[in-house]
Amino acid sequence: MKLKNFIKDGQKLPLFGIGPYLIYGIALLSAICIVLSGYVFKIGIMTGPWVWLFRSGGAVFIVLGLTVWFIGAVKSGMDDNITENKLKTDGIYAWVRNPMYSGCWMLITGLSLMWHNVCVIPLFFVNWGIMTIVLKNTEEKWLAKVYGAEYEEYKKRVNRCIPWKRRS
């Protein structure tokens, strides 16, 4: 029996998309960076008040990430929109086009900061860049093909990865 990433016939987009591969990839990259910098090369480890600052920032990112992911994945009703082939643009999707990816990105950033190692700071930008490149070349192309001008207009109004309400 072959499992499909679809719930009903006629559904135009996969339910999970590229997400699991993307998130596991940036999580693995982050883990490798933490292990190499903190345990193998033993560089970049902050002490004193920096520990508190990194861990406090990490906690904020973890809470924000879990919140954004939960709202996007569980509370938004996105699965219904996917199965009905409707573009989701309200709720959290009016703030960020990819809340589940954004939430995972923030969660990974928060967990990385818990190691209070300055070497993880570039990961914030590297992971964001990877996420941007992958989404532009996969899901955004799929969505543009399925929704056309409606999606192109939505892209102009809503950020890809950083939740932010733009002025209209």
The 10s digit of each residue's pLDDT in 118-127 is: 999 999 999 9
Rg (CA), the chain: 18
Residue 100 belongs to what H/E stretch?
helix 99-113
The 10s digit of each residue's pLDDT in 41-71 is: 999 999 999 999 999 999 999 999 999 999 9
Distance CA 96, CA 90 (A): 10
Distance CA 87, CA 107 (A): 26
Query: What pLDDT, on a 0 to 100 scale, did the predictor assign at position 17?
Result: 73
Instruction: State both tokens at 43.
Output: 């560089």
What ranges do the domains of the chain cover?
Answer: 19-157
Query: What pLDDT, on a 0 to 100 scale, did the predictor assign at position 43?
Result: 97
Query: What pLDDT, on a 0 to 100 scale, did the predictor assign at position 11?
Result: 58
Distance CA 92, CA 111 (A): 23
Helices (H) and strands (E) in the chain, counts: 7, 0
Look up residue 21 and give its amino acid. Y
Which one, of 56, 40, 65, lies nearest residue 31 by Cα? Answer: 40
Query: What pLDDT, on a 0 to 100 scale, did the predictor assign at position 83?
Result: 77
Q: Residue-wise pLDDT tens for the chain (168 aa)?
A: 343 444 555 656 665 678 889 999 999 999 999 999 999 999 999 999 999 999 999 999 999 999 999 999 999 988 888 778 899 999 999 999 999 999 999 999 999 999 999 999 999 999 999 999 999 999 999 899 989 999 999 999 999 999 987 765
Instruction: State both tokens at 97.
Output: 């086009």
